[in-house]
Structure 1
Amino acid sequence: MDLNAITSHLRPADRGGLPVHQPGDACLAGGTWLFSEPQPTLRRLIDLTSLGWAPLAATEDGLAIAATCKVATLDAFEPPAAWIGAELIGRCCRAFLASFKIWNMATVGGNLCMGLPAGPMISLAVALDGVCTIWTPDGGERRVPVVDFVRGPLQPDLVPGEVLRRIDLPRAALVRRAAFRRASLTPLGRSGVLLIGTSGAGGDLALTVTASTRRPVRLDFDAPPSADDLARAIDMRIEPALYYDDIHGRPDWRRHMTHLFAREIRDELAGAIR
Structure 2
Amino acid sequence: MDLNTVEEVSAPTSRAELWPLGDGDAILAGGTWLFSEPQSDIRRLVDVTALGWTPVTLGDNGIEFAATCSIAEVARLSETLLDSHPDWAAAPLLRQCCTALLASQKIWSTATIGGNICLAFPAGSMISLASALDGAVTIWRADGDVDRIPIAQFVTGSAQTVLSTGDVVRSVHLSASALRARTAFRKIAPSPLGRSAAVLIARRDAEADGGRCVLSVTAATVRPYVFEFPGVPDADAIAAAHATIPDDAWTEDAHGDPDWRRGVTLVLARQVCAELSCT
The one-letter code matched in structure 1 to 2:138 is: T
Tell me the equivalent position of 1:262.
Answer: 269
Please list the CA deviations of residues 25-45 of structure 1 after superposition, one character each: whole Å capped at 9, or x if unmatched: 111111111111111111011
Contact 1:25–1:44 (8 Å) recurs in 2: yes
Contact 1:96–1:119 (8 Å) recurs in 2: yes
Tell me the equivalent position of 1:209.
Answer: 217
Match of 2:227 among 206, 219, 223: 219
Contact 2:19–2:142 (8 Å) recurs in 1: no
Tell me the equivalent position of 2:130.
Answer: 125
SS in 2 for 1:169: strand
SS in 2 for 1:113: helix
TM-score by length of 1: 0.96
Please list the CA deviations of residues 179-215 of structure 1 after superposition, one character each: whole Å capped at 9, or x if unmatched: 0011011121110010000011344210000010000
Q: Distance in 2 between matches of 1:208 and 1:246?
A: 21
RMSD between aligned alpha carbons?
Answer: 1.1
Unaligned runs of 5+ in 1: none
Tell me, yes or no, if structure 1 residue 251 matches structure 2 residue 252.
no
Unaligned runs of 5+ in 2: none
Tell me the equivalent position of 2:37.
Answer: 37
Tell me, yes or no, if structure 1 residue 145 matches structure 2 residue 150.
yes
Cα offset, 1:97, TM superposition: 3.3
The runs of at least 4 consecutive aligned structure 1 residues that moved more than 4 Å come to: none
Q: What is the number of residues matched between the two proteins?
A: 271
SS in 2 for 1:35: helix
The one-letter code matched in structure 2 to 1:209 is: V
Q: How does 1:38-187 map to 2 (within 5 A)?
A: 38-77=38-77, 78-79=80-81, 80-187=85-192
SS in 1 for 2:35: coil
Q: Distance in 1 between matches of 2:157 and 2:129?
A: 16
- Higher deviation after alignment, 44-53 or 93-102: 93-102
SS in 2 for 1:76: helix
Q: Distance in 2 between matches of 1:214 and 1:3?
A: 28
Please list the CA deviations of residues 18-68 of structure 1 after superposition, one character each: whole Å capped at 9, or x if unmatched: 121222011111111111111111101111101000000001111000000
SS in 1 for 2:45: strand
TM-score by length of 2: 0.94
Cα offset, 1:140, TM superposition: 2.4
The one-letter code matched in structure 2 to 1:142 is: D
Q: Distance in 1 between matches of 2:7 and 2:204?
A: 50
The one-letter code matched in structure 2 to 1:44 is: R
SS in 1 for 2:65: strand
Percent identical pairs in the alignment equals: 46
- Higher deviation after alignment, 193-202 or 62-71: 193-202
